[in-house]
Amino acid sequence: MKIEAVRIQSFKSFDDSGWVELSEHFTVLVGQNNAGKSAFLQAFTTAPFISNPHQSALLPEGAAFPDTVISFRLKIDGQELLERAFHWTSIQVPTTGDLREGVLEKHFTSSRTHELEMRHGTNNFNMPAAPAYGLFDAEQVTVLTAHAYIDRYTRSFRQVHLQQTQPPGDHIPNLVGDVFTRTTFLFNAERYSIGRCAMDSKDRLAPDARNLPYMLLKLNRDHNRMEQFQKLVREVLPSIRRILISAMGTEVEISVQSHGSMREDLAIPLNECGTGVAQVLAILYVAVAYPAAQIIIDEPNSFLHPAATRRLLNVLRRFDQHQFLLSTHAPEVIAATRPEKLMLLQWDEEQSQTVITSNSGDDIDHIRTSLSEIGASLADVFGYDVVVFVEGPTEKACFPLLLPPENKTAINFVAMREASGLTSTKPQALFDIYANGVAGSALLPPITRFSFDREGRSEQQRADILRASRGAARFLPRPMLENYLLHPPALSDLLQRLDGRTDKTAPNAIIRWIDGNFAKHSVKGVPNTSPATCDAAKLLGAMFDELTENRFEYRKVEHGEDLTRWLLENDRSSLDELVAHLKALLDREVIPSAV
């Protein structure tokens, strides 16, 4: 069975999601806290369904809230239904005088798509297509009941009687619901206490995995599958040597052996192990024990170390027969799963509900490739309100220091790769990459900006870049960031901390050195009339070499960040022009920049 699509009506943060299509293998949900990710996953629960109607601000105060309806579009092979039917003593299926017992073959030998509904706080399943299921016109013919008795030994229908009853007997919804509930598992981010349970006669894992010890005891009968399970546990959690299953009277207990001696007395009960171990065992049990299942995991990175999360997801990707639905805040989860479908959930105040935007796997690969071309990754942009692409690692380190303390916007500064080369020879190239491959994706922040140096760009090139960016780019007023760091007292403090106090690194001596040397370091296309217009990065490199007699070199990122911090503490006004550049860059309104 595969869940092709789900529709959530009047449930928690959803008024009506519409039909949301899922991938046959991996679908991942992303979104901010309280956006509706957990509510979406809880709609799949196979435990007793509890109605939790959507409370919409659009309804008048005091009005009754609509009943909860969760609908699934399921693709089920007829053989799956037949296997479940063989666990019953008899079944009833609607038919007609023409179809007669042939209706059984229609339902149980071919793959069909069924729409299944769960309504208003019940475990009862409805199917809108009943009683005809597309096999006949129920309004044009007399609908009969095919009552078939089942021989469990020969695994066949022993007798079939046709009956005329109103309404006709119909076990198809219960059979489809049975297949759905038996193969769909939801694993929450909460701590599981499932290390011990009573012996029972269940033949499936409970929805909350509380009977996992007993199910692993049964798995022990299948040596190959149990060894596969043990191997996968070690792959995901390398510190675990073996999972031990012990029958203790009327109970079964799981213990975890991590000691190299494999002494049984050193094994630790599962309930005393760290958070996440129980979830991993339950998830891997389903992956190994079931021929096909729907495995739903809420925030795997919240109960596992990032490395363990990656290993678990890498393991799960090998099980093509299963269908996976995950929620996450972490870009590494997206990278590890490589989902065929990724959905962004957002709360829409105007609609008073959660809304969903989907991206296909091809979209995600295209985004990842496009970002790599400008030196970024999905982790650089996912989950931020604003992303600012900057010239290099020095700006990436220093610009965040200039943000006001009261800033509450999630901003990430991302260093571009070879931005100067891209924009100098092909001014349109960088923005074509971004616009065609990245901008507008549901994965990415709504605001993206670009900060460039003037260094190495002619007046015409700067004009071309501004035009191509459509207002998203701005240029520093000075050739480069280092021009703002040519501050003698700050440089004196840094040099004397590095190399000791000497007369030649005193503030006045540094003023004289800068005045005597800046003219030697020019920026192409920029008149070199003062330290504010020279190639300050090269000037600082020469200064450190000469004044420390090559004992210390100027490290752009480390020393740039040090100087910026000093200036913010001791002479903030010297950075006013740089702060103004950043403020204009981050303004939500597009502000034309002077060339």
**CA dihedral defined by 197, 198, 203, 209, rounded to 10 degrees?**
-20
pLDDT at 425: 52
DSSP 385: S
| Angstrom distance (rounded) from CA 334 to CA 310 | 10
Q: What is the pLDDT along the chain (595 residues), one digit of tens a residue?
A: 999 999 999 999 999 999 999 999 999 998 888 889 999 999 998 766 666 888 888 888 888 888 889 999 999 999 999 999 999 999 999 999 999 999 999 999 889 999 999 886 555 789 999 999 999 998 889 999 999 999 988 888 988 999 998 899 999 999 999 999 999 999 988 878 899 999 987 889 998 899 999 999 999 999 999 999 999 999 999 999 999 999 988 999 999 999 888 888 889 999 999 889 999 999 999 999 999 999 999 999 888 988 999 999 999 999 999 999 999 887 778 878 888 888 888 888 889 999 988 877 666 666 666 666 666 666 666 667 788 889 889 999 999 999 988 777 778 898 887 665 545 555 565 666 555 545 555 556 667 888 998 877 778 888 888 888 877 889 999 999 999 999 999 999 999 999 998 899 999 999 999 999 999 999 988 899 999 999 999 999 999 999 999 999 999 999 999 999 999 999 999 999 999 999 988 875 433 333 3
**CA dihedral defined by 421, 427, 430, 434, rounded to 10 degrees?**
170
Asked if 584 and 593 touch (Cβ cutoff 8 Å), the reply is yes
pLDDT at 47: 65
Asked if 424 and 390 touch (Cβ cutoff 8 Å), the reply is no
Please report the sign of the dihedral spanned by the C-alpha atoms of residue 287, residue 288, residue 290, residue 292: positive
| Angstrom distance (rounded) from CA 496 to CA 40 | 59
Structure token digits, residue 381: 């942009």
| Angstrom distance (rounded) from CA 531 to CA 527 | 11
Residue 512 DSSP SS3: helix
| Angstrom distance (rounded) from CA 227 to CA 216 | 11
Alpha helices in 374-506 (DSSP H): 378-381, 393-398, 419-425, 429-437, 459-469, 488-499
pLDDT at 313: 93
First to last CA, the chain: 61
For every residue of 233-269, DSSP letters joined together read HHHHSTT--EEEEEEETTEEEEEEE--TT--GGG-EE
Which domains, from first to last, does the chain contain?
Answer: 188-339 (3.40.50.300), 361-448+464-473 (no CATH), 481-583 (no CATH)
Structure token digits, residue 168: 């006709």
- Taking alpha carbons only, the member of 7, 279, 49, 322 closest to residue 181 is 49
pLDDT at 342: 85
Q: How many residues does the chain have?
A: 595
Strand order of the β-sheet with 447-452 is: 411-415, 386-390, 447-452, 473-475
pLDDT at 528: 94
Buried-exposed string 363-401: b where 16+ CB fall within 10 A, e elsewhere: bbebbbebbebbbbebebbbbbebbbbbbbebbbbbbbe
Asked if 329 and 301 touch (Cβ cutoff 8 Å), the reply is yes
Of the CA atoms within 13 Å of residue 416, those in its CB half-sphere come to 22
pLDDT at 368: 65
Cis, bond preceding 167 (omega within 30 deg of 0): yes
